[in-house]
Amino acid sequence: MTEVDEVLKLLREFGQRTALRGGNPYRARAYYRAVENLSAVTEPLEDIIAHGRLETVPGVGLAIADIVQKLYRTGTHPALEAMRKEVPAGVLELLSIPGLRPEKVLKMHRELGVSGIEDLEQLARNGRLANIKGLGPALERKVLQGLEIRRKSEGQRHLHRAAELVDAIQANLQLSHPELDLVVPAGEFRRGCELVWGLSLVARTARLKGGPAVLRLGDNISLHITDRRRFGITLLLATGSETHLEALRTVANQNGMIIDADGLKRGNRVVAAKSEEKIYEVLGAGGSTPAARSNPRRGYTGDPACTHRPVRRGRHAAGNGRGRSRARLRVLRGR
């Protein structure tokens, strides 16, 4: 049997090679979406396959479920092996450049021998794309801009996509871990950053052996497990930002207290931990919305790590605002 991470890597490759083949662009996107949703499942993939529940994962229909099963059981797929003969592996990474369409990637590979990011960047910086029919100076500028964006945003997800993943994780946890009575988003997503690098959630349970713990669910996805007694402090620490938390620790120290995983403490006594509101109240900080924890203009401390504007209330609502996800509503309301 193939390891789960390898299955997801192969399925992503399946999508990339499908994109290079042309045709319906939504087919390739369907594979990418399935990869992300499968990376967010909260029970072993082998169990999901064994019980015939692959199609319950959002974005995984009958065709993709069949591909996933073959990849899991054999480590490959006949269609994938056929597509590998068409284009070398290095060309696939060009698809990660924002604004560069698959047909242009193929053209550059076939006509200029581009086989990777370094090849393309060298050609673009030397002005070699500008005079090629079907490419031109506009595309050359787009390539250079896209490469810069790629460097700055590699590994990040847009807020919209992060919201879909939060919903999927919440639904998965309801089925796989019914003992969790509350699961809420934290981190950059809760702070409203338009690009989210690490997706964090906090899950609450009535009983917890030991202290709060962190589980890794998938690609830059973490789940913070806590109990009701320490829910507030766990949510506060998981939401961040580091700059904001450092400012809070400074305030606590000035008042003879410390902040750790158990809560706001004076000596060995926990002063506040159950709710964020109580922690801010004891510190005399007056509370702080998650968005303000990344934006110095909206709170008493800011976070240079959140380089994109926090999202205004309702800005990312779909259409006329109906159908907004529960997770997105929570983050936009600030709590």
Domain boundary among 92, 127, 153: 153
Same-domain status, 133 and 188: no
Residue 16 belongs to a domain with what CATH number? Answer: 1.10.150.20
Q: How far apart are CA 152 and CA 156, in angstroms?
A: 9
- Asked if 300 and 285 touch (Cβ cutoff 8 Å), the reply is yes
Same-domain status, 149 and 168: no
First to last CA, the chain: 43
Same-domain status, 170 and 99: no
pLDDT at position 22 = 86
Same-domain status, 271 and 284: yes
Same-domain status, 233 and 208: yes
Beta strands in the chain (DSSP E): 157-158, 180-186, 195-196, 199-205, 213-218, 221-227, 258-260, 263-266, 269-272
Domain boundary among 153, 185, 218: 153
pLDDT at position 278 = 95
Same-domain status, 20 and 102: yes
pLDDT at position 147 = 94
- 57-89 pLDDT, tens digit each: 988 999 999 999 999 999 999 999 999 999 999
Length of the chain: 335
Same-domain status, 241 and 133: no
The CA distances from residue 92 to 20, 26, 102, 150, 262, in Å, are: 8, 17, 9, 14, 46
| Residue 221, strand partner residues | 199, 218
Same-domain status, 139 and 215: no
The CA distances from residue 259 to 81, 207, 239, 264, in Å, are: 54, 22, 14, 5
The pTM score is: 0.70
Q: How far apart are CA 257 and CA 271, in angstroms?
A: 9
Closest C-alpha among 171, 179, 167 to residue 42: 171
- Asked if 310 and 250 touch (Cβ cutoff 8 Å), the reply is no
Closest C-alpha among 220, 203, 226, 214 to residue 40: 220
pLDDT at position 219 = 72
List of the chain residues with pLDDT < 50? 296-305, 307-335
Closest C-alpha among 113, 122, 58 to residue 90: 113
The count of structural domains within the chain is 2
pLDDT at position 306 = 55
Residue 225 belongs to a domain with what CATH number? Answer: 3.30.210.10
Same-domain status, 143 and 179: no
Domain boundary among 153, 185, 207: 153
pLDDT at position 185 = 96
pLDDT at position 3 = 83
pLDDT at position 318 = 30
The dihedral formed by the CA atoms of 291, 292, 295 and 301, expressed in degrees to the nearest 10: -150
Same-domain status, 205 and 90: no
Same-domain status, 173 and 147: no
| φ, ψ (nearest 5 deg) of residue 225 | -95, 130
- 266-284 pLDDT, tens digit each: 999 999 999 999 999 999 8
Same-domain status, 162 and 291: yes
| Residue 187, strand partner residues | 199
pLDDT at position 42 = 83
Q: Which domain holds residue 234?
A: 158-333
Q: Which two tokens stand for residue 136?
A: 């031109």
